[in-house]
Structure 1
Amino acid sequence: MTNHPVEMFDYHIWATRTILGRIAELPPTVLSQEVNSSFPTIAHALSHMYAVDEMWYRIFTGIEMRKALQDMMPLATEVLSGTEEYASRFDQLSERYHAALHQQTDLEQSMVLDNPYAGIREVRLSEILLHVANHGTYHRGNISTMLRQLGHASTMTDYVFYWYQQQPNIPSA
């Protein structure tokens, strides 16, 4: 039986690697070229994505949201030198997520989330994984738009393309 929150998280990892692969094909300056968008540069968008993924990992593993948010704020604006550095950070973080997932047997376990922007509520671990995937999808869309504004094509990171990467096509009869 498929664990859909874990599958969506794995899609998030695949899609982030895919967009980073596309950016790596372009001139290195594409990371730092300014655009009129939700982030001033693609590097800022990637830094934000990484910091938020890291923050939610910390929450997933038991750190209170206010502390995790405070710890990750500096990373949200830290601009790295290249796509290799972003890819390395995302890969290391995904390995830590997977290690935590192997230790966690009940993704429907709840925790109290004290979100300084939205208030207190209970949240299931599975919801955290779905949120991380959804947040990444949103910002990969921003990055695709930024690439187009800079005169470059993006790449397809839709969930359906992840399906085809995971399972070979079945020949028609």
Structure 2
Amino acid sequence: MPTSHLRELLLAHTGYSAWATRQVLEACSSLTEEELARDLGFSHSSLLQTFRHSHDAERVWLDRLVAVGKGRLPLGPAPEHSFESLVQSWPGLWEGYRRWLDGASEEDLTFELCTVLPDDAVFCVPRWQIVLHAINHSSFHRGQIITMLRGFELQRPNTDLTAYYATH
């Protein structure tokens, strides 16, 4: 795939991921701190913990994209950001991905970046695959959040890719 097409695809999908996360954040904005922190029995326990994990993963992978050498993923839980601080911080991450992709050359996109995972395994992939991983990871956790919302009297947003295409 020519780099310009790859960049366009990655930009479209990072745009989708940002849009979908905004939809889910908006759907959760009326919940109380207690409701956001309630243990609902999912992999990251609560809505807030799942948001924290997803946000932190996007931040970590963006940091890795701009890195040159081998780096290590952080160990331990995601930082304990409030829901409001995540809402405020996330647009900066989305802009960071967009800026990086806008300026990325073919060499930047295809450069194989090695990362040391928390279990000390080394993960080496081209940078474009890191972008796709970050998008896929966020989609997975948005799905969990939408499932968690079934326990609340809220309208669950449609974050399907076709809904994004229909509005953009």
Normalising to structure 1: TM-score of the pair? 0.81
How far is 1:5 from its partner?
A: 2.2
Counterpart in the other structure of 2:132: 130
Counterpart in the other structure of 1:104: 104
One-letter identity of the residue aligned with 1:99:
R
Matches within 5 A, 1:1-150: 2=5, 3-24=8-29, 26-29=30-33, 30-62=35-67, 64-66=70-72, 68-70=73-75, 73=76, 76-80=78-82, 82=83, 84-106=84-106, 107-117=109-119, 119-150=121-152
Alpha carbons 1:111, 1:122 under 8 Å: kept? yes
Aligned residues: 159
Normalising to structure 2: TM-score of the pair? 0.83
Q: 1:33 to 1:113 in 2, by over 3 A?
A: closer
SS at match of 2:154: coil
One-letter identity of the residue aligned with 2:67:
G
- Once the two structures are aligned, what percentage of the paired residues are identical? 24
Alpha carbons 1:6, 1:129 under 8 Å: kept? no
One-letter identity of the residue aligned with 1:120:
V
Name whichever of 32-41 and 136-145 sits farther off.
32-41
**Hey, what's the Cα distance between the residues in 1 that align with 2:132 and 2:25?**
21
Give 5+ residue unaligned stretches, structure 2: none
Alpha carbons 1:8, 1:129 under 8 Å: kept? no
- RMSD, aligned α-carbons: 2.1
Moved over 3 A (4+): 150-153
**Hey, what's the Cα distance between the residues in 2 that align with 1:7 and 1:43?**
27
**Hey, what's the Cα distance between the residues in 2 that align with 1:77 and 1:28?**
20
How far is 1:21 from its partner?
A: 1.1
One-letter identity of the residue aligned with 2:167:
Q
CA deviation digits over 1:8-54, x for unaligned, max 9?
Answer: 11111111111111111x33243122212222210100000111111
Q: 1:99 to 1:130 in 2, by over 3 A?
A: same
Q: 1:57 to 1:111 in 2, by over 3 A?
A: same
CA deviation digits over 1:104-157, x for unaligned, max 9?
Answer: 222222222333437334311111111011000100011011111334342110
**Hey, what's the Cα distance between the residues in 2 that align with 1:27 and 1:121?**
38
